[in-house]
Amino acid sequence: MINPERMDDVVRRGAHVKPAVDAWRAVDERRRRLQGELDDMRRSRNAANDRMAKLDKKSAEFAAARDELKALSTRIKEGEAEQVRLETESQDLLLGIPNAPHASVPAGASSDDNREERVWGKAPAFSFTARDHHDLGVGLGILDFEAGTKISGARFTVLRGWGSKLTRALINYMIDLHTGAGYEEVWPPAIIRRSALRGTGQLPKFGADLFKLEMVTGEDHVPDNDFFLSPTAEVQVTNLHADHIFEPGELPRHYCAYAPCFRAEAGAAGRDTRGLIRQHQFDKVELVKFVTPETSYDELETLIAQAEKVLQGLGLHYRVVTL
């Protein structure tokens, strides 16, 4: 969830986020104003109680003070109910606001404005017309898109023969590379609860891209216990320490994890979905670090370097950009 003190930084992301920020600010202003009014009314109630204690309980003055206190208590009760509603609305709005970019991140309108940090290797040059992965995969018999569609529908693929072996080999290569660098391997469940998704920011922002499991539930069912297919192992690994406070000396903690991932890709209409691009199901090896704020930027750089080693070990040309 975004830090409310960084709302001005959030607006740097572009005009499209300003309505969400303005909506939250309006609710937060009402919430804070109501909090002040409630504090004043509670002080008045305490003063009224003190005053009534000194009055004759049979006097008209006491009866008037009692009626006044009753009305005041009713207003406080109504205000507290409104306060709960505003706090809930404020939290819901905060959950929908994207993260604030770091001050070093350049402003831009599209991917064309991304800043290139470095390039590794040389772009391959061919003496023949290159073919895309779709045509190669079908020609080699390792990517079966028709079978995937027959079994599960559009944007699912069956891997055959060397396609299956290559996937397993890449997963093992990455896990071995990362554990060799000191990352602890975990193998998490692929089904996760709503509360876990909210904790990492996937909900409610990316709800349209998630696959929710339909279950028979009873009257005592809690929405936080709704089940979803994991969109990324980041969710499970981050929630390893949900509601946990690290003691001094327990950090850093470095994890790597493989998990099958599932995404509806609701925003993919009209975009390139040929071949293995924007599949509903794919395999992913994730890196997650738990670190202290003082070392976080250095830890980020070493995490990026670790991810780059995957590509370097495969001899793949790439570039690093600041989004």
Is the pLDDT assigned to residue 9 strictly greater than 90?
no
pLDDT at 271: 63
Is the pLDDT assigned to residue 150 strictly greater than 80?
yes
Residue 138 Rama label (left phi>0; alpha psi -120 to 50; beta): alpha
Is the pLDDT assigned to residue 1 strictly greater than 70?
no
Q: Respond yes or no on whether the N-terminal peptide bond of residue 188 is cis (omega within 30° of 0).
A: no
Contact 227, 215 (CB under 8 A): yes
Highest average pLDDT, of 97-101, 262-266, 276-280, comes from 276-280
- Per-residue pLDDT tens over the stretch 14-62: 888 899 999 999 999 999 999 999 999 999 999 988 888 888 888 888 8
Domain segments of the chain: what residues? 4-95, 132-290
- CATH node for 132-290: 3.30.930.10
| CA distances (Å), origin 306, targets 58, 256, 290, 301 | 80, 11, 15, 9
Measure the CA–CA gap between 75 and 230, rounded to whole angstroms. Answer: 46
Measure the CA–CA gap between 171 and 261, rounded to whole angstroms. Answer: 13
pLDDT at 86: 95
Architecture of domain 4-95 in this structure: Orthogonal Bundle (1.10)
Can you give the three-state secondary structure of 172-226, one letter per residue? HHHHHHHHHCCCEEECCCCEEEHHHHHHCCCCCCCHHHCCECCCCCCCCCCHHHC
Length of the chain: 323
Contact 15, 108 (CB under 8 A): no
For residues 127-156, average pLDDT: 94
Is the pLDDT assigned to residue 252 strictly greater than 90?
yes
pLDDT at 205: 85
Same fold, 4-95 and 132-290: no
Write down the pTM of the prediction.
Answer: 0.82
Per-chain mean pLDDT for the chain: 91
For residues 174-195, average pLDDT: 97
Measure the CA–CA gap between 5 and 97, rounded to whole angstroms. Answer: 13
> Where are the alpha helices (H) located in the chain, listed in sequence order?
7-10, 18-53, 60-95, 133-140, 145-152, 162-180, 194-199, 233-238, 296-313
Measure the CA–CA gap between 37 and 238, rounded to whole angstroms. Answer: 39
Contact 261, 234 (CB under 8 A): no
Is the pLDDT assigned to residue 2 strictly greater than 80?
no
- Per-residue pLDDT tens over the stretch 270-301: 567 788 988 999 999 999 999 999 999 999 99
